[in-house]
Structure 1
Amino acid sequence: MITSTPIGEWTWELTADSGEIRPTRAAQVVAAIWNELAVRELALPGGKADVRVMNRNDPRDVHLAAEDLSMGTTPLAPRSALARAVARAEAFDGDLITVIRVECPGLWLEPGFEYRAEKLFAIHLEVWSGSLLTATLETYSDAWLTMDTRNREQPEVYAANAPRLAAALQAVSALLGTAPVPGDENHYAAPSETGFRDLRDEGPAYDDSWGTFEGLDRASLLQSRIPRSEDEYEQITEHSVRYFTIRRDGRTLGFLWASVGDAAAGYVPRTAAGDDAFDAGAAWLLALREAHGQGLAPLTALDWLAKHPARPGIGVIVEDTPRAASSLDALEELSGRY
């Protein structure tokens, strides 16, 4: 399963032995970590990077905010977006915090198949006053776990993916000259220095943690993108649903659904599609609000949206007629698994 919040993380700390850790050095560390992930196809071209420089004593005093920088095959290639932003960051002096964050598309493996997630990992690096550097690696997939986040054992998936993560963590530790500090156990998993602890014996912290928490996290991310309103359909249902697939440029972004038995309708983002799934979903939710404002029943709203498509930038409906899912949970399973 792919999540919208981290399943686990690992942090390395470095202090300056002599001189100052400048933004260029920080970016070189990020690029080196990215390269170690890329060797194992845990990072692929097409990701996004942010660079921020702010006053340490007043983080609201932002000197530089460069966002959504496109990442190619060589993160710090001359004249690349990231290289230009780092050059701008070099112009600032003082008691500053420099933050570089890179979201890494990558591949997770299943028997006979490989799948791409637009945010399989994220590299988050901070430099404090030029003297302390912390690098954090986050993952958003449960492919490294002996049990997935819905409490199902997955020996073949684990065997195909866990060694890739362990090798990457070892390589980054060798690169930085220090062992990682695993993040705290969370409701999904328990990180260790080599990946994750095996929870088969003691059991996970929560039953079906993905089903319990991911829906709430997704809803929060979607609702943060649109104005609050009382004029909308219910967001959950115990009934079966009908749905349309939303696709753009050959990639599935999510699923527009309606209940067959009550006044519920909504949009389920395909988490592996990354932020695009949520940005498109926000627009489709606004379209559903328009249908609700016209007094349309949920299934009628699906038909209305198919006949009055939204702007192409948010994706298009693929099917001529809606598909059936036995439950909203089944549709969410589809959207989070692949």
Structure 2
Amino acid sequence: MITTEPVGEWFWEPSPVLDAAVSGASRALALVGEVRDVLASLGLIADGGTGAVELCELSAMGRPLFERRDVPVAAMAEVAAAVRLLPGQHLTVSLRLPGEWPEAGVRRRAEELFVVRVHLWGQGGAILVLSAYADPWLTQDLRERPQPEVAAGNAPRLAAALERISGLTGVEVDPGDETRHARPTADGFADLLAEGAAYADSWGTFEVPARWRRLMKLLPGGYGEGDYEATTEESVRYAEVRCGERLLGFLWASADGAAGYEPRSAAGDAAFGAGVPWLLRFRAARSGGAGASEALDGCLGRTEDGVSVGTVVHRAPSPDALAELSGRG
């Protein structure tokens, strides 16, 4: 299962950058690049990804002096070169990296499998953070189903990455706090089959509502009385939502009047924005007196802003089953 919040994080505190005002941005960029190379050498990440650079005064962390997001990795050096870090300031350089992993004989992919970031202070102190956003390293998936074979095929590469990054920085790794999903350790994650999970069905309990809230923030006015019911116990009909060949999510409706959109977690940020025009079409259809199933049929084969709804209608036993499908690589 793929998450929008980290399944786990690991921290390193390398030696301070003595000339942070002169070379801080370039050193931070070099460090995230070196970690990216480590992950790539172990087959943990794929080509692509984007970066971000943010510079703030320590006294006003919520108001960046300089900010660039969704920067292609190849353009990060040019962006970082425009930043001068002064005492009393804080610089963050990060990379969001896609990755792939084997699972049950299939190659799974997530557009944000890892995030690598370096926090650098004007006085020279630095912290490196690695965050993971999926569960193939765990002996039990985030819906509490055992997957020891999946973990056996993926966890050793994560352990090797953590060890190599410690060698790269010259300091031992500091595992982050236990999350809602798992407990990070110095060599990956604790064995959930032995320890048990902190929460039952953590993906369904936390991730599904978090995805809903994120989607509603993008929908003008949020969810309201003008929208179809968002939940049902009935089976659902659904169609794929795509941008070209890229699957972004699923538009669905039920016979008892519920309808909605499930963003496909593996597609990353694009999956959320792709659902907005179709939810607005649903809203307009309901305002015009159309039922949920009729509204879905009215979207089939249409295209909005380069995003299309398929013409083939599939069935799922419940919205929860569809949400799980959307949460996989």
Whichever residue aligns with residue 29 of structure 2, its letter is A
Instruction: Give the deviation of 1:61 after TM superposition.
Output: 4.3
Whichever residue aligns with residue 280 of structure 1, its letter is A
Whichever residue aligns with residue 298 of structure 1, its letter is A
Match of 1:245 among 233, 240, 261: 240
The match for 1:77 is none
Distance 1:300 1:203, change over 3 A: same
Whichever residue aligns with residue 67 of structure 1, its letter is R
User: The residue matched to 1:62 in structure 2 has which SS?
Assistant: coil
* Partners of 1:134 and 1:210 in 2: CA distance: 29
The match for 2:216 is 223
User: The residue matched to 1:185 in structure 2 has which SS?
Assistant: coil
Count of residue correspondences: 325
* Partners of 2:323 and 2:3 in 1: CA distance: 12
Instruction: Give the deviation of 1:184 after TM superposition.
Output: 1.0
The answer to whether 1:19 aligns with 2:19 is yes
Contact kept, 8 Å, 1:22 with 1:130, in 2: the verdict is no
Whichever residue aligns with residue 225 of structure 1, its letter is L
Match of 1:233 among 228, 242, 254: 228
Instruction: Give the deviation of 1:248 after TM superposition.
Output: 1.5
User: The residue matched to 1:224 in structure 2 has which SS?
Assistant: helix
Whichever residue aligns with residue 288 of structure 1, its letter is F
After superposition, give the CA deviation of every residue in 1:10-38 in whole Å (9 maximum; x if it has no partner).
11112427433611111100100111011
Percent identical across equivalent pairs?
41
Q: What is the TM-score with the length of structure 2 in the denominator?
A: 0.94
Instruction: Give the deviation of 1:111 after TM superposition.
Output: 3.4
* Partners of 2:16 and 2:304 in 1: CA distance: 51
The match for 1:81 is 75
Q: What is the TM-score with the length of structure 1 in the denominator?
A: 0.92
The answer to whether 1:212 aligns with 2:214 is no
Unaligned runs of 5+ in 2: none
* Partners of 2:8 and 2:76 in 1: CA distance: 26
Instruction: Give the deviation of 1:129 after TM superposition.
Output: 1.9
Contact kept, 8 Å, 1:257 with 1:267, in 2: the verdict is yes
After superposition, give the CA deviation of every residue in 1:308-331 in whole Å (9 maximum; x if it has no partner).
x24142x212234x2111111111
* Partners of 1:247 and 1:56 in 2: CA distance: 42
Taking the TM superposition and a 5 Å limit, the aligned residue runs for 1:87-102 are 87-90=81-84, 92-102=85-95
* Partners of 1:70 and 1:284 in 2: CA distance: 28
* Partners of 2:95 and 2:61 in 1: CA distance: 20
The answer to whether 1:337 aligns with 2:328 is yes
Unaligned runs of 5+ in 1: 72-79
After superposition, give the CA deviation of every residue in 1:58-95 in whole Å (9 maximum; x if it has no partner).
22442211111012xxxxxxxx41011110013x5342
Instruction: Give the deviation of 1:220 after TM superposition.
Output: 1.4
Match of 2:172 among 179, 184, 188: 179
Contact kept, 8 Å, 2:17 with 2:126, in 1: the verdict is no
